[in-house]
Structure formats: C-alpha cells, structure tokens
Amino acid sequence: MPVSFADLQHRKLLMTTTLPPEMTEATRLVRAGKLAEATTLIQRLLGGGHAKEGFFGHAMTLAGDNAAIPGVFAPTLKTAASAKSGEPVRSRTGLGKTLRKLAAIARIRDFDDAKNANLQPVTTPFPQGSSFTTASYANAAGARDYKLYSPSARAKAQAQMPLIVMLHGCTQSPDDFAAGTGMNLLAEEAGFMVAYPAQSKSANGKNCWNWFRPRDQRRDQGEPSIIAGITRQIIENYPVEPARVYIAGLSAGGAAAVVMAAEYPDIYAATGVHSGLPQGAARDVPSAFDAMRRGSARVSSKLKVTPAIVFHGDQDVTVHPRNSDAIVKQSTSAAPDLHAAIERGQAPGGRTFTRTVHTDVTGRALCEQWTIHGAGHAWSGGNAAGSYTDERGPDASREMLRFFLQHRLA
C-alpha cells in the first residue's frame, strides 16, 4: 500500500520526539484519521481548552509559541494553575512544538480526505432505473452545479414525488454528503427525489456555504437565490409535488438551510438542521466564529412559524449546542400556545438522546429538537462511508424524513 505524506510525517514525529503515553496515543489517533478523538486527548493532557474546526480556513495559536498553522483553529491554551492565579500563560516545555507537528499532520490528512472525497466519490449500486446525475443552474448571483437522485420506477408509486434539498457541510461534496447521510437509499425506499447543491471553491475555499454574509441571508440575493433557483428548476422539470418540498443541511449547510426556510416559506414546507446556526447569527467572519464558539447572541427579527427538526450533539466543539436552542426559538416564537413534551431514549446499542416536541393546539408537531448525548460535530446515525458522521446516534435522516412528510404547503 502506498505511504501517504501524512503518514511519513507521522513516522518522523515518532522518531524525533519523546512523548508521554497520552501524546503517543494522540499521534496514533491522528494517523488513523480520528482527529476529534486526538483533539480531546490533547485537551485532557493540557488541562482544558477547546480545539475547534472552523468554516473558513483557520489558525492555531499555542501559548508561548505564537505559531499560526493554517487548517486548525484553537484559542490559546492555558494551564489550570495559570488560569486560577492570573499569571501569564506559559506553554509546557516541548508540548507546543509537538502540538504544532500534530496539527500540521492533521491538516495534511484533513485536506487529503477532502480531496479524495471530491475526486473519488463513493458510489453505491442503486437499482436499475434509478439515476444520480449532475446538472447546473445559473442566475445573476452566480452558478452552481448540483446532483439529483431519482429513484427507480419501482419506487415511483405516485405521479408526483416529494423533493428534499440537501446542503452539505464544509469540505464536503454532494457525493460525500449523499454517502454519509444515506438519503438516496431512503429515497429508493420511500419514493422521493433528493437534490444536492454543490458549493464552489471559487465562492468559498473550504466549500462552505456563506451563511454568515448579509447578502447570503436574504431572499432573491446571493446564494439563497441560487439554491431557490435550483429547487424551482427541479420542480419544473421533474414529477415533484410542489407542496412537499423540504430542505436540510449539516453545519454551514444547516445554517444555510435555516436561511432558505425563513426566506422562502412559499417553497419549503419544513427544514432539517443538523449542527447548524440560526438566521442572523452573524454578519461577517469574526461574528460567525463568535456565534460558533459561544452560541448565537443575535438572531433574525424575521420570526416565522417554520416547521423544523433540529439535531445537535451536546459535545460539539465546532458549533456550540446553544445554537440549536436559538434555531428552535426562531422557528417557534411566532406560534402561540405551543406545548413542549420531552422524552428520552437511546439508539439501539448507541447513544442516548433527549427529544423535545413542540406541538400546537391541534396536536401538530411544529418543531422537534434532538440533543444527542456524547456526540460531536457529525451527522447522527450516518454512514462511515461519508465524512462527519456518527454511526452510534439515532438515524437523523430517517427522522427528518418522517417529520417532513407530516408537513405540506397549504
């Protein structure tokens, strides 16, 4: 098997650095591609801090080293003693240099994985008669490609089908997102179409939807106009039932999905948000980082009743779980007399969760909030064939589909 550049760098690190047992384990996890686990271990060794992957291209600062490493972002690391005494922050001897090396290896591996996801998409042998094709849409705001899954004739039991628009997260592609969420398999099972708009590198170097820019949070402007145009194009050209069109997304894609549902309530009957942020949480890159790190302090004043199902891991260090609460508030504040019912459960052999269902006076569920205990920044119940997935959680894709099909435009 060919040895990657990241593996060569990892071997060099092991040969040139004497590490405590925890750091040795962290390097093993990095080599295995388990970057979240490695980060947690490093944090534990240093006595705190929160490493963070961002949406924009990042930098990591280590106390005493002042070294910026593109690809990883973390606040300055402090020891428990210095935090308590108020003394100047000092790095632990040798660890700053080791962490810089680990971060560089992680960056190399991260970019290798993203590149492979784009150049070598996961292919699934779908039934004869189904299709997963590439198309494009353009308007005055720009152009984007998208992929569209159409189930086989056997699955098309009705003249018109629902449509789910799926917005991928940063560094992901339509093929990667489809593999990780398993939404195409559900489409074959239940008989609906799935569209995956693709963010372009020219619009964002990390393939993130620009949910934080004012022009990309408004109807008929920027990226919302393009995503809406893709949706309308599919409705016009395929047997889609206009009253049953839905939108969902992960991370930056989840934040973009919130914008789309709020700005286009005439197109989307409901939205699914995984590890995302509310509309209006940011207006530029600095405020976006702040909202991701601490939760949303400011949200859009355009509060509408938008049926939404929201998933978030309570150990997410990329997008703070408080953003989930803000999305729920934004989706339900304009609805009077809602009743909230809380239930707890566990995925078979996997993670526990808390599910809060907000229903109106007729008993219709307007919002569901799922908090996945112990989960990080990953699609709950997803397939390991895609990036940013957590196989141990409840099946977010299936639960979103169930919720979507309860709602339709009047």
Closest CA to 148 of 126, 182, 178: 178
What does 129-150 look like in DSSP terms, one character per residue? T-EEEEEEEEETTEEEEEEEEE
CA angle 254, 260, 265 (to 5 degrees): 130
First and final C-alpha spacing in the chain = 57
| DSSP 3-state percent helix, strand, coil across the chain (nearest 5) | 35, 20, 45
pLDDT given at position 9 = 44
CATH number of the domain located at residue range(s) 131-404 in this protein: 3.40.50.1820
Contact 342, 355 (CB under 8 A): yes
Please give the model's pTM, rounded to 2 decimal places. Answer: 0.72
Domain range annotation of the chain: 5-118, 131-404
DSSP state of 2: P
pLDDT value, residue 408:
96
The tokens for 389 are 């997935």
Output Rg (C-alpha) for the chain, integer angstroms: 22
Write out pLDDT tens, residues 133-145: 999 999 999 999 9
d(CA 131, CA 274): 26
396: enclosing H helix or E strand? helix 396-404
pLDDT digits (tens, 9 = 90+) for 61-102: 323 322 222 222 223 333 333 333 344 333 334 444 444 444
Give me the sheet containing 308-313, strands edge to edge.
131-139, 142-150, 193-197, 161-167, 240-250, 270-274, 308-313, 365-372, 352-359, 339-346
Record the tokens describing residue 28, joined without a space: 């093993």
Quote the Cα angle for 399-321-173, to 5°.
60
Q: Which of 367, 369, 365 is nearest to 321 (CA)?
A: 369
- Given a contact cutoff of 8 angstroms between Cβ atoms, the answer to whether 289 and 309 are in contact is no
pLDDT for position 126: 75
Q: Which residue has the tokens 């960056």?
A: 107
Nearest alpha-carbon partner for 233 in 126, 329, 146: 146
pLDDT at 189: 92
Residues of the chain with pLDDT under 50: 1-19, 46-122
